[in-house]
Structure 1
Amino acid sequence: MASEQVARAESERGEVVLLRRESGAVELRVNGVFVMDTVETSTEQALATRALAVVNEPRAVLVGGLGLGFTAHAVLADPRVEKVAVVEIEEALVGWMRDGTVPHGPSYLADERLTVVVADVRAAVAEATPASYDLVLLDVDNGPGYLVHDSNAEVYGATFLRRVHDLLRPGGALVVWSAAAAPELGEAVAEVFGAVVPVPFDVDLQGRAEHYWLYRARR
């Protein structure tokens, strides 16, 4: 399917590109790797809804990875949520969402409860106050088996996950998105939280049958 380049930026991590297909769908690629599009967004939304369903009072939510905004938008649809902090490392992507290069971006970012921080999620978590969030949702790349940046491997390890655990209030939840089954991630989450719930999803990605996964745990 033919696509046209809508926007492109480079950082020390490489290239970020927005494409528009003939159908009008928008696609995000980082260093040539498909990250997401505006067609199949069910698991990005489920990343939010599955976590919201297991927390009684999800007042404060941290989302690692802005993507095209669908996870944050699903979080904000819950009236119990009082504040959402989205951490996104690519400043250009945040700009494209804000200025309408991504057409739905301005409306998705307009909610007064939402704050978008341009930073590495590892630094943001390290600097955050312990026990300050009810949910932490991580979708910083395509999961541990398909890293957009090699350094993101740390996000799926026990050391970082312990910091996330400490960030959560009692009864809070963590959900991690992955493009494929990730047993080692499941083991790391279980090591830190005591248990993990792997949730598989069947999706249709540009006519191909794929299986995405969410890894959920509670403090």
Structure 2
Amino acid sequence: MSKRFEEIDWRPTPMGEISLRRRRDPASGTDVFEVKLGDEFLMSSQFVEGEVELARLGLAALAGDAVDVVVGGLGLGYTARTVLEDQRVASLIVVDALGEVIDWHRRHLVPLGAGLTHDPRCRLVQGDFFSLAMGEPGEVGFDPDSPHHRFDAVLLDIDHSPRHVLHPGHAALYTPEGLRALAGRLLPGGVFALWSNDPPDGEFEAVLAGVFAGTETHVVEFDNPLQGGTSANTVYVSRNQA
């Protein structure tokens, strides 16, 4: 039996102190993995429905086979794993700014690490997703081996929402200019999907509609025993111009 609580790793990063913790859930008897940045909880293996549906809804909007996908934000790996469960996926690049998080997966400190790192279709890339998406000088494109590679889908789960970002520099992506730059990383008809912890945002939907050929908003509900009810995330799915 595992310990009731364990801090598996703790490190200083440019974004603040990040820690990986494991605790025993007394109700279910299962281990729950959590990531904190400073005093703020970033993610928990207890609530992964939003991360899973980001991948499912984003890929469901794609036609064709042998698709190339980018995931922005590795976290505990649930979006990436769901992408790889789709047999149409030929390649997956997961971009994360924190080498510490990538290292957790490569050292198999998190439950999904072995599966992601052993899948030949999957590459974990350390980099600033936002700079890569918007084409900052010296950081062109998501694929370090092919800077001008365009993708069938880009799935993003880094910020809490377009209005509640982890770093002020991220905000530019959620503007018309930033989204047009990201759309340039997609193939014609490609899909951009975004996870948000906030309810649907009409103003942001209008921004998406001004850039992409079509957009849909999905509310993902799930049980939240910690609050004794139901919680919800939002997933925006937009299709590039054909």
Same fold (TM over 0.5): yes
Tell me the equivalent position of 2:239: 218
Distance 1:20 1:98 in 2: 18
Secondary structure at 1:164's aligned position in 2?
A: helix
* Aligned-pair identity (%): 30
Unaligned segments of structure 1, at least 5 residues: none
Secondary structure at 2:115's aligned position in 1?
A: helix
1:178 counterpart letter in structure 2: S
Aligned: 1:120 with 2:128: yes
Distance 2:131 2:169 in 1: 13
Secondary structure at 2:217's aligned position in 1?
A: strand
Match for residue 164 of structure 1 among 182, 190, 194:
182
Larger Rg: 2
How far does residue 194 in structure 1 lie from its aligned partner after superposition? Answer: 4.0
Alignment of 1:177-196 (within 5 A): 177-181=195-199, 182-196=201-215
Match for residue 80 of structure 1 among 85, 88, 103:
88
How far does residue 37 in structure 1 lie from its aligned partner after superposition? Answer: 1.1
Match for residue 24 of structure 2 among 22, 25, 30:
22
Distance 2:203 2:125 in 1: 29
Distance 1:56 1:200 in 2: 23
2:169 counterpart letter in structure 1: S
Per-residue deviation, residues 187-217 of structure 1 (Å, max 9, x unmatched) = 2211211432111111234523322000111
Tell me the equivalent position of 2:157: 139
Report the count of equivalent residues. 218
Unaligned segments of structure 2, at least 5 residues: 26-30, 142-146
The 10-residue stretch of structure 1 (20-29 or 3-12) with the greater mean CA deviation from structure 2: 3-12
Tell me the equivalent position of 1:109: 117
2:197 counterpart letter in structure 1: A
Match for residue 198 of structure 1 among 187, 196, 217:
217
Tell me the equivalent position of 2:10: 8
How far does residue 131 in structure 1 lie from its aligned partner after superposition? Answer: 6.6
- Paired residues of 1:30 and 1:148 also in contact (CA < 8 A): no
Secondary structure at 1:25's aligned position in 2?
A: strand
The 10-residue stretch of structure 1 (32-41 or 90-99) with the greater mean CA deviation from structure 2: 32-41
> TM-score, with normalisation over the residues of structure 1?
0.92
- Paired residues of 1:199 and 1:214 also in contact (CA < 8 A): yes
- Paired residues of 1:130 and 1:168 also in contact (CA < 8 A): no
Tell me the equivalent position of 1:49: 56
Distance 2:88 2:213 in 1: 27
Distance 2:5 2:173 in 1: 32
1:40 counterpart letter in structure 2: F
2:113 counterpart letter in structure 1: G
Alignment of 1:55-70 (within 5 A): 55-57=62-64, 59-70=67-78
Distance 1:52 1:175 in 2: 9
> TM-score, with normalisation over the residues of structure 2?
0.84
Aligned: 1:152 with 2:160: no
